[in-house]
Structure 1
Amino acid sequence: MTGPHPAVAACRRHVRTCLSDLPESTVLVACSGGADSLALAAAVAFEAPKLGLATVAVVVDHRLQEGSAAIAQRAAAQCRALGIGRAEVRAVDVSGAGGPEAAARDARYAALRESASAYGAAVVLLGHTRDDQAETVLLALTRGSGPRAVTGMAAVTDASGVRWVRPLLDVTRAETHAACAALGVEPWHDPHNDDPRYLRVRMRRALADLETDVGPGVVAGLARTAELVRDDLDFLDEWALRLADALGESPWPVSELAALATPIRTRVWRELLRHAGVPAAALSKVHIDAVDALITGWHGQRPVHVPGGLQVRRGGGLVVAEPRRVE
C-alpha cells in the first residue's frame, strides 16, 4: 500500500504540527480557491478530526472582478468536498487608503476576524508558503525597512484577539500545486497574480528572475534569512525587556544606560518609555533617537517631547520621564 503523494504528506505534516497543541475547538481556514489555500484546506480536513478539532473554511469575496461571487462559491464547495465541516462565503467592500492591495488585505482580515469570533475558532489558518515568505523578505530588503521587516511573516501571530497561524511557510508553492494535482483538486488562478500593476506581482517576477539568473535556492535562502534574523531579534528584545524591568520606573541612571550597547539600549528605551505611558504605536525611531541623544550626545539640550503628553530630560546623572511642561 503506497502512502500519499510527497507534497500532500508535506502539507499534512506541517498542519499536524501546528494543530497538535490546540485544545479541542474549531479551526478556521482562510481559502481563496488558489492552490496554496486549497492544499491547506485539504491537509486540515485530513488532520483536524483526528485531533478532535472542528473545521470551517471562509472564502472572502472582495468583489473586485466580474464573476467573483461564483468563484468564491466554487471555492467553498471545494472545501466541503475536501472534508471541511462548514464553508461559507463572506463578501466585503474594498475601500480605504494605501492602495487596492492594502485595502483588500484589510477588508479580508476584518472578515476573517469576525468569522473567527462567530465560530469560536481557536486559530485562523493562512496558506502563505515559503515563496510568499521570500517575496516578503525581498520587498523589505529593497525598501530598506530594517531588520524586523526582514523577518517576514511569523508562523504564529496574535493580533486583534485572533491567533493567525501559517502552517505552510516551509512548503513551496510548487508543492501546493503538486498536492492539489495529486488530490484531483483544480485550483483557481487569480488573474491579478499576472497583473504587473500590483507590487506583489512585480516582486514575484523579480524573484523568479533571481532564481533563473543566480541559481536555484534564492527562495530558500531568503526564507532561511528571515528565520535567522527573527531568532536574533527575538533574543535581543527579550534581553532588553529584562533590562528595562530591572531599571524600573523613572528616573533612570545615566551611567547604567550609557553602559549598554546601542542595539540593546534603543530597545530598552522603547520598553521604558512604553511603561512610562508613551503609546507604543506612536513611538517612532525619531523619538527613540532623540531620547538616546540624552545619553550619547549630551550637551545640555532641552527636554525631548514624546507622545502621550510626556517629556524626557536629563539632570543630576538621571534621565527623567515626566508630564510635559507648558511654557
Structure 2
Amino acid sequence: MGERPCVAVAFSGGRDSTALLHVVLRQAAASGLRVAALHVHHGLQPRADAWLAQLRRRCAGWARQGAPLEFDARRLPGQPGPGESVEAWARRGRYAALAEMANAAGCSLVLLAHHRRDQAETFLLQALRGGGAAGLSGMPATAMRDGLTWARPWLHLPREAIESYVRRHRLRFIDDASNDDPRYARNRLRLQVWPALTGAFTDAEACLVAAATRAQQEAACLVELAQADLADIEAGDGLLIDSWCRLSVARRANALRAWLRRRCGAGPAEPFLQRLLKELPAGAAPARWPGEGGELRRYRGVLRWWPEPASDRSEPHATPLRITSPGRYAVPSWQGVLHVLPVAQGGVALSCLAGAQLRPRAGGERFQRGARGVARSLKKQYQAAGLAAWERNAPLLYGEGGELVFVPGLGIDGRALAPEGVPQVMLRWEPTEGAPGATPGKP
C-alpha cells in the first residue's frame, strides 16, 4: 500500500460522495497522500452488484490516469432482524465496514460527504422522534470512533454547491431509485415535507442547522454536568439513590441517562427513564426493573445494573477442587475463578484445601465472622453484611473435612482460620458476568 499517509473517502457512488472523492483526488497528488475509496454493498438493491462493478472500474480508470487511488469494498453480512429498522441496520453495518476497511488501508481519517441539508433533515427527524439535545445535535463535523477520525468537511455547504461542482466537472454518479421510496422516513421528509417547508420558510435549512449547532453546545454542557453530578452520587458500580434524590428533577434525569449509558452501553428509552424517575425515590425496599440485556436492582439505597445471565449456563453443582498452592483456579461450571493468595495471617491453612469442594447453598448453613464471632445462620450473616438476595448465589467452599471454609462476600469462616506460623492463604471469588453471585464491577 505504500508508506505515504492515507485518507479514506466513504464512496457510495452517489452524487455527493462522487464529488467528494473527485475533490480529494485533485488535492492528494500535490499533498503526497494516498486515497482509499471505500464502498459498502448493503445487499438491499437488485442493482447493487452492478454498481459495485461500475465503481471498481471507475476507480481503476482514475488510478491508471495517475490518481493515487485504491479501492476496497465490503458486503454486509446477514439482514435486518424481525422488527429492526432497515435504515438503522444498514447504518450500523456501514460504519463497521468502513472502519474495517480504513484500518486495513492504513488510514486514520475517513471523510463523509454529508452536507448542510442532510444536517437540517437529521435535526427534523430527531425532533419528530422526540429527541433531546443529543439527538437534535445532528451529525458532528468531526468525531473520534474506532481509533479513526471521521470528518464531514461539507457539513456547512448547501446541496446546490455540490450539484454545481458535479455539473462543472461532468461527473457521472449512481442514481439510487431507493432514494424515492416513501417507506423510509428520511425519504418521506425529503420528498413530501421539505418542498412545502422551504416554500413557506426560505431560510429553513440555515436556521435548522443553526439550531443543531446550538443543540451540540447544550448537549456538551449536559455531559459535563452529568459527570460532575455522578462524581458525587456514584459509589463503585452503584448509584447512591439518596444522593441522587437531592438533585433537581431535571438533573436527576440527566445524571440517570448518563449513568445508564455508562453501565448498559446505551441510553434508556424515554418511557423507561420516566418510570425510574417516578419509582426510584418512592421506596426503599429491594426492587427490580427489567431492561434490554439485563435489569436494574435496588438494594439498601444503591441502584446497580445486572447484565442478563448467559443462556447456556448449566445448573451449578458440587465441584471438587485440589488446591495445593497459591494461584488462580478457574471453575467453568460455576463461571468464575477462585484466587488463592499467600498471606502471613488471617487466612486458612493451605493443607485444609487439598480436598476442597465448591457447593451450592443447601439451607441451614452456619457461618462465623471472625475468630471471636458467633456462628449464626448464613442468611442472617448475609443480611448483616448487606448482601442482596441475588448476591447470595455464589458457591460455598468446603474443606477436606467437610467444614465450611469460605463464603464469597463474607470471607473465611472464623472457625477455619489458621494459627500463626502455619502456611496459609486468603481466598477471593471472581465471578464472570452473568454468573451466580456476580455483581458488575464487584468481584
TM-score by length of 2: 0.58
Worse-superposed segment, 148-157 or 77-86: 77-86
- Match of residue 325 from structure 1: 389
Q: Which has the higher helix share?
A: 1
**Superposed displacement of residue 66, structure 1:** 4.1
**Superposed displacement of residue 268, structure 1:** 2.3
Alignment pair present for 1:305 and 2:288? yes
- Match of residue 260 from structure 1: 247
**Superposed displacement of residue 131, structure 1:** 1.3
- Match of residue 178 from structure 2: 192
Distance in 2, Cα, partners of 1:50 & 1:246:
53
Worse-superposed segment, 118-127 or 145-154: 145-154
Change (3 A) 1:67 1:310: closer
Distance in 2, Cα, partners of 1:263 & 1:313:
24
**Superposed displacement of residue 252, structure 1:** 4.0
Change (3 A) 1:270 1:93: closer
Larger radius of gyration: 2
Q: Deviations over 1:16-68 (max 9, x none)?
A: xxxxxxxx732211111111101211222234455554210012233444443
Q: Deviations over 1:88-136 (max 9, x none)?
A: 3434456122244334334433321221221122122211111112222
- Match of residue 118 from structure 2: 132
Distance in 2, Cα, partners of 1:197 & 1:274:
30
Q: Which has the higher strand share?
A: 2
Q: Deviations over 1:222-250 (max 9, x none)?
A: 22211111110111111220232244425
* Among candidates 17, 38, 41, match of residue 18 of structure 2: 38
Alignment pair present for 1:280 and 2:265? yes
Alignment pair present for 1:57 and 2:37? yes
Worse-superposed segment, 237-246 or 205-214: 205-214
Worse-superposed segment, 59-68 or 110-119: 59-68
**Identical columns (%):** 30
Distance in 2, Cα, partners of 1:142 & 1:123:
32
Q: Deviations over 1:174-230 (max 9, x none)?
A: 211111122221222111122223332111113432344313221222222111111
Check the 8 A contact 2:299/2:388 in 1, yes or no.
no
**Quick one: which amino acid aligns to residue 15 of structure 2?**
A
Structure 2: which 5+ runs fail to align? 305-386, 393-443
Check the 8 A contact 1:94/1:107 in 2, yes or no.
no
Change (3 A) 1:284 1:209: closer
Distance in 2, Cα, partners of 1:207 & 1:59:
30
Alignment pair present for 1:26 and 2:6? yes
Check the 8 A contact 1:57/1:76 in 2, yes or no.
no
Change (3 A) 1:211 1:266: closer
Change (3 A) 1:269 1:215: closer
Distance in 2, Cα, partners of 1:47 & 1:324:
63
SS for the counterpart of 1:197 is coil
Larger relative contact order (Cα-Cα within 8 Å, sequence gap ≥ 6)? 1
Change (3 A) 1:283 1:216: closer
Q: How many residues align?
A: 295
Q: Deviations over 1:258-287 (max 9, x none)?
A: 453333232223445667xx3233755455
**Quick one: which amino acid aligns to residue 96 of structure 1?**
P
Distance in 2, Cα, partners of 1:78 & 1:287:
50
* Among candidates 119, 131, 152, match of residue 145 of structure 1: 131
**Superposed displacement of residue 251, structure 1:** 7.0
> How is 1:77-226 mapped onto 2 (pairs within 5 angstroms)?
77-79=57-59, 81=62, 83-93=67-77, 95-97=79-81, 98-226=84-212
**Quick one: which amino acid aligns to residue 265 of structure 2?**
A
Change (3 A) 1:246 1:282: closer
Worse-superposed segment, 187-196 or 279-288: 279-288
- Match of residue 71 from structure 1: 51
- Match of residue 16 from structure 1: none
